[in-house]
Amino acid sequence: MKQLIVILLSFSFLQFLSQEYNYQYITQAQGLNNTFINGIVQDDRGYLFISTGEGIGVYNGVGVEMYYKKNKIVDDYVSASYKDKNGNLWFGHIQGGSSIFYENKFAHVFIGAGIGSQINDIAEDKDGRIWFVSQEYGLYYFTENNDKDFFPKPSSNRLYYSLFINEADDFFLGTDKGIEVYNFTIETDGGHLNKTQNIGIEEEEQIASIIDINGTTTFAISLHGSAYTIIKKNGSYSAEKLSFYNLNTEIVVTEAYSSKGYLWISTLQNGLLKCSIQDNQIFIKEKYNKNSGLKTDAVNTSFVDREGVLWIGTFGEGLASKEEDLFTYYFIDKKNNNPLSSVLVNKTNLFVAGKSKIEHFDKQNVTLYKTYTSENGIPKDEITDLLFDKDSNLYISTTLNGVYVLKKGEEHFEKIHISEDNLSQTISDIEIVDNWLYIATLNGAYRYNLNSGGVNIFNITTGLPHNAIGCIYKTSDNRLIIGTNSAFISELKDEVIINYPIKDGLEVIEVNDIFEDHNGEIWFTSNGSGLFKLQDNQCFNLNTDDGLISNYCNALRINKLGNIWVSHNEGLSNINIKDSTIQTYDQYFGLNHRFLRGSMTMLDNEIWFGTENGLVLYNSDKDFKNKVPPITTLKFVSINDSLYKIDEEIHLNYGSYKFGFGIAGLTLKGAKKVKYSFILEGYDDKWSEKTDKNTIFYTRMNEGEYIFRVKSYNADGTEGTEASIKIIVKKPYWQTWWFYVICFIGIVAVVFIIVKFRERSFIRYQEKLKRDLALRTREVVEQKNKIEAINKDITDSINYAQRIQRSILPQDQYIEKLFPNYFIFFRPRDIVSGDFYWCGEMGDKQLIVCADCTGHGVPGGFMSMISHILLREALTEETLNNPALILQQINSKIVEVLKQTDDIDSNRDGLDIAIIVQDKKNMKVKFAGAMRPLYIYRKGVRTVIKGDRNSLGGLQNGKQFETKEADVQPGDKLYIFSDGYADQFGGPRKSKMKINVFQEVLDQVSQLEMPQQKEAIADFFYKWKQDMSQMDDVLVIGIEI
């Protein structure tokens, strides 16, 4: 009876909503050369292998690469495909040949010689043999190890179409006349296929497919749709016929396939049937054909990939894919727009309203129960809302004609009169609270008492911010929220209107729809300003900046998961409150029609949307993330724009390179939304941000070891596998260890050679030096002898000159006569001296002189001799009274004798001199000095009488000398001296003694007797000088009065 009802429902109604799915197609545009699909299989990498009549297309989620005979396929026409347990792909061809795809390349298995008819099926036995079913020939098998055997015509007068090998290793061979069962044994003479039985079926039919369903059921189906389960009883198999529960036409079956618990039956004229088996009946759950939006009814094969995407191999329209349906599409008339301005749904019924019409559908089958039109009292106007009250009376609102009600059990709508005002006939929304029907109009919100018919109005005069009401919403706690065309959202509470400012109450917001979330917070949509939430009397806004498709928001619902659904003209926005993300849905998901304002209704997991043409159903049960990780691969690696192998390390010589990486994240579900993250170890510090770029470049890459690693993420963010490749750019040879070693060895060798060379050279040089030395020594000895001879001569000469010079010095006795207490410390630097002393007397005056001629040695000697003569010549009575005259005369004579001029080339020789003339009688001394002073110590106190600051001889410049006179007392000690003593280097710091030290010496010794003074002065000099050379002639003269 139940079946009868269903069948009646299926056939009785003339009109129904045709369900349409969103299909994506792979055709020539994606590179698929031939649009007749014979087989679909997916390899372990995730690539889809599409068998066609003109080659095999390999689909990577983006495009198809075709493979032909030239790519090691036996034949371009591929009639069957199969993936074995090891992941190898096997292909059968039209002339009986077979190919394999393993280790990422195609290869011939068997060219088909002697077969001559197409491979219809491929199966694998327990021992891993791959069996090929040739339509007219029979069977043959191959193994991966190239073992093979052929079994022609296992049964006479049969054509062979399908093969299934069960767990017991029984072979079920589908022929053009039913099913035969074989077992396979290997004897000493080879393999044998032994027919064990025919499986009796009602008619001798061509068996299109024999498959396993869920590992429990062996299922067979014939070309014309006769279906069977094969059951083993008492050691033999029998077929039990299945009937289609809801199939109302003949079908031509090309293939049956089992996946995800469903049976997928491909037919040539009815599309793909998604079925389940229950109680020996096949239930068609869904049909994928022209009626559901598929381009063709001709489906040759189907496949569900690892991500759950359904692939439909059509015969002539390429490969169609259909992902799990987030949305289901229903059309009344696909070609002509049929706006559905309001939708209402409950568990069993679906009401859709458009212009002047309401249609009542059975929700389960989406078949039409009843249509209400103007004949039922519906005005010729757009219906804006549908609403049932608790008594199942149906209320409708219209754009221009007010509100109507269809009372339960009646067929005619009646108008509800609320006002005669035209604006009150334009209704945007209706809501029922208790016994009140609230009506949103352009003239305010009316409240209609369903029992008494009384009417109240809420508008500007009662506190609403505007008379144009966009929507009315009853909250779970029976508050009434009113959206207007104003700057406020309003609430009717205890007959009082409370207005909440939306955007500080400064901007007019046209409110379109209102809904309450699970926390009791109110959300409302606006026309141009996005989505708002009313929380704690304040409004918060979400708009396109936050991810909404558009700020023009139509209807609004919040489902049981707490997700907010907002419809726009362009699609849908889904706001996940938990993680504050917004997912949008647009044409990519097949949402091609404009969503209408207020046309949204929700029931449990379902949300129904009315569009400008047809219905869209969202089912949250089907909305789950794709957790299958995408398979990440490197498509290519280019170095300086040249392609390199991607399956091995890349070694490059030293240089500067541009690296290019082509990457792919293989997912067949939402392939266009795959993103990537990558890192080039050795260059990057961290993984990149996710990007949709599938080609990555690095420039100016120099020496180093680099590892490029990339991960892909599918459209739902599931992280995929990782792919990587290592690139090594060699160091320059001068940075390699061997170069260092060679350099070290080279340097050592060079040093060794140089040392050796220098050693030899040194030896040779030494020998040469020895020779030269001997020669030179001989020469030097000779020269020495000569020089010694010369030196001796010179020395002898100088020694003799010394005798002469000494002869001019006064004798000690003479000096002692003139100056009884005196000492003279005279130490010439050389044999002859530039310093000399002299004394004499004239009258009662005694004279003593200390002279320091320029130079020392022989030149000094000469000058001392000249100066001595000039001194003697200058001595007169007069000059003794004024010794400065002595200096004047000597100065003049020197200039004259030595022919000195002011020319720069003229000699500047001369002398410094100190002259003391003692007048004992008067106890006076007169002193004249040229650059030399006189020190007088009286009772240990030093008095210095400075000489004139001119030397005798040399540049004249008007030299003048002056005689100084001093009274002396007995015991006074007078000292004159040359500069040789004070200029001597030595002492603790090897420095010049200077006059201060000399003065201290005199200060210390002046108290001594004259002889002791000489010794002390001599001692100090020698101690000061130590072993240093004497710098000048030294002459110190001391006399005591």
Partner 1 sequence: MKKLVLFIFILGATISNCSAQAVPAPEENIPFLVTFGKDAKKSYGDDDYCQTFFFSIPKSFSKPFYIRIFDPETGGKHDETYKYSDSETTFSLYGGKGCVSEKDARETNPIGNFKSGNLLHNKTFKNESKYDDQWYTIGPLSPSQGEYSDEYFGYVFKLICQGTKGDDGNLYRYFLSTSATDNIPISGGNAFTFEYSFRLNASNNQISHIYPFVDDNVISIKQTNFDFDNDGSIELSSVATKGYKLKMSGDNEIAEDKYTIVSKEKGTSLDIQLIKGSRKITNNNVVFFVTNQYGEALPFFAVPIGGTPKYAGKLTIKPVQK
Among 3, 214, 236, 269, binds partner 1 (CB under 8 A): 269
Q: 745 pairs with which residues across the strands?
A: none
Return the exposure string of 181-203: e unless at least 16 CB atoms fall within 10 Å of the residue's CB, then b: bbebeeeeeeeebeeeebbebee
Choose between 175 and 397: whose C-beta lies nearer to partner 1: 175
Least CB distance to partner 1 at residue 34 (A): 6
Residue with Cβ nearer partner 1 (16 or 36): 36
Candidates 162-170, 273-281, 312-320, 717-725: pick the segment binding partner 1 (CB under 8 A): 312-320
Q: Among 316, 505, 520, 746, which residue interacts with partner 1 (rule: CB under 8 A)?
A: 316
In whole angstroms, the minimum distance from the beta carbon of 74 to partner 1 comes to: 13
DSSP letter at 834? Answer: S
Task: Provide the mask over 134-163, with x wherever binding to partner 1 is found by CB under 8 A and - wherever it is not.
Answer: -xx----------------------x----
Residue among 576, 618, 602 at smallest CA distance from 515: 602
Q: Which is nearer to partner 1, 269 or 538 (CB)?
A: 269
Alpha helices for 876-975 (secondary structure H): 877-881, 883-897
* Per CB under 8 A, 95 contacts partner 1: yes
- Distance of closest approach, residue 301 Cβ to partner 1, in angstroms: 13
Query: Does 586 sit near partner 1 (CB under 8 A)?
Result: no
* Shorter beta-carbon distance to partner 1: residue 273 or 497: 273
Q: Which of 117, 541, 640, 1004 binds partner 1 (CB under 8 A)?
A: 117
- The residue within the footprint of partner 1, chosen from 22, 42, 51, 118 (CB under 8 A), is 118
Smaller CB separation from partner 1, 206 or 485: 206
Nearer of residues 55 and 660 to partner 1, judged by Cβ = 55
Task: Return the CA Rg of the chain.
Answer: 64
- DSSP code at position 808: H
Q: How far is the CB of 298 from partner 1 (least distance, A)?
A: 4
| Type of residue numbered 895 | V
**Taking the complex as a whole, how short is the minimal distance between the CB of residue 7 and partner 1, in angstroms?**
21
* Residue 112 or 1038 having the CB closest to partner 1: 112
In whole angstroms, how close is the CB of 576 to partner 1 at the nearest point? 45
For 791, phi then psi, to 5°, come to: -60, -40
* Contacts to partner 1 from residues 597-656, by CB under 8 A: none
Choose which of 116, 505, 520, 940 interacts with partner 1 (CB under 8 A). 116
Look up residue 739 and give its two tokens: 């170069």
Is 445 within 8 Å of 458 (Cβ atoms)? yes
Please report whether residue 111 would count as binding partner 1 according to CB under 8 A: no
Longest Cα–Cα distance in the chain? 184
The distance of closest approach from Cβ of residue 95 to partner 1 in the complex, given in angstroms and rounded to an integer, is: 5
Q: Which is nearer to partner 1, 132 or 975 (CB)?
A: 132
Closest to partner 1 by CB, 112 vs 590, is: 112
State which residue, 317 or 325, has the beta carbon closest to partner 1: 317
Per CB under 8 A, the list member of 268, 696, 842, 885 interacting with partner 1 is 268
* CA 390/CA 436 separation, integer angstroms: 12
**To the nearest whole angstrom, how small is the minimum distance from the Cβ of residue 135 to partner 1?**
6
Angle at 162 (CA atoms; ends 202, 75), nearest 5 degrees: 150
Distance CA(539)–CA(511), nearest Å, equals 13
CB of 55 to partner 1, least distance (A): 10
Q: Which of residues 24-83 bind partner 1 (CB under 8 A)?
A: 34-36, 52-54, 76-77
Nearest approach, Cβ of 300 to partner 1 (angstroms)? 9
Q: Which long-range contacts (CB under 8 A, 24 or more apart) does 533-540 make?
A: 534/481, 534/489, 534/500, 537/500, 538/500, 539/489, 539/500, 539/501, 539/502, 539/503
Sheet holding 367-372, edge to edge: 342-345, 349-353, 358-362, 367-372
What are all long-range contacts of 517-524, with beta carbons under 8 Å and residues at least 24 apart? 517/558, 517/562, 517/564, 517/577, 518/558, 518/562, 520/475, 520/476, 520/477, 522/473, 522/475, 522/481, 522/489, 523/556, 523/558, 523/564, 524/471, 524/481, 524/483, 524/489, 524/556
Least Å from the CB of residue 73 to partner 1: 14
Is the CB of 97 or the CB of 834 nearer to partner 1? 97
Pairwise CA distance, residues 575 & 547, whole Å = 9
Q: Which of 19, 51, 209, 296 binds partner 1 (CB under 8 A)?
A: 296
CA distances from 109 to 82, 128, 132, 836 (A): 13, 15, 11, 131
User: In 809-899, which ranges are continuous DSSP H helix?
Assistant: 812-818, 857-874, 877-881, 883-897
Give the residue with the Cβ less far from partner 1, 59 or 315: 315
Q: How far is the CB of 292 from partner 1 (least distance, A)?
A: 18
Residue 464 one-letter amino acid:
L
Q: Which is nearer to partner 1, 252 or 707 (CB)?
A: 252
Are 565 and 607 in contact by the 8 Å Cβ rule? The answer is yes
Give how many residues touch partner 1 by CB under 8 A.
25
Cβ proximity to partner 1: between 136 and 517 the closer is 136
What is the rounded CA–CA span in Å between residue 1014 and residue 824?
7
Give least dist CB 149 to partner 1, A.
Answer: 23
Cβ proximity to partner 1, 35 vs 529, nearer residue: 35
Which range binds partner 1 by CB under 8 A, 111-119, 516-524, 822-830, 996-1004? Answer: 111-119
Question: Which residue's CB is nearer to partner 1, number 254 or number 963?
Answer: 254
With CB under 8 A as the contact rule, the residue among 183, 206, 399, 802 that binds partner 1 is 206
Collapsing DSSP states into helix, strand and coil, what is residue 85? Answer: coil
Tokens of 309: 């995407």
Contact of 35 with 51, CB cutoff 8 Å:
no
Choosing from 176, 719, 919, 983, the residue that interacts with partner 1 (CB under 8 A) is 176
**Distance of alpha carbon 223 from the chain centroid:** 58
Least distance from partner 1 to the Cβ atom of residue 118, Å: 5
Residue of 94, 931, 982, 1002 that binds partner 1 (CB under 8 A): 94
Asked if residues 78 and 95 have their Cβ atoms less than 8 Å apart, the reply is no
Of 115-123, 387-395, 691-699, 972-980, the segment contacting partner 1 by CB under 8 A is: 115-123
Site for partner 1 in 803-822 (CB under 8 A): none
- Minimum distance from residue 38 beta carbon to partner 1 (Å): 9
For the CB of residue 516, give the shortest distance to partner 1 in the complex, in Å.
Answer: 53
Tell me the closest approach of the beta carbon of residue 208 to partner 1, in angstroms. Answer: 13
CA 272, CA 322: separation in Å to the nearest integer? 12
- The residues, ordered by sequence, that sit 6+ positions from 821 with a Cβ below 8 Å of its Cβ are 1009, 1010, 1039, 1040
Q: What's the closest the beta carbon of residue 205 comes to partner 1, in angstroms? A: 11
The residue (of 125 and 176) whose beta carbon lies closer to partner 1 is 176
| Smaller CB separation from partner 1, 78 or 378 | 78
From the list 838, 597, 628, 599, the residue with the least C-alpha distance to 714 is 628
The phi, psi pair for 147, rounded to 5°, reads: -70, 145
Of 313-321, 619-627, 722-730, 885-893, which part binds partner 1 (CB under 8 A)?
Answer: 313-321
Cα within 13 Å of Cα(205), Cβ side: 21
Beta bridge partners of 64: 59
Residues contributing to the site for partner 1 (CB under 8 A): 34-36, 52-54, 76-77, 94-95, 116-118, 135-136, 159, 176, 206, 268-269, 296, 298, 315-317
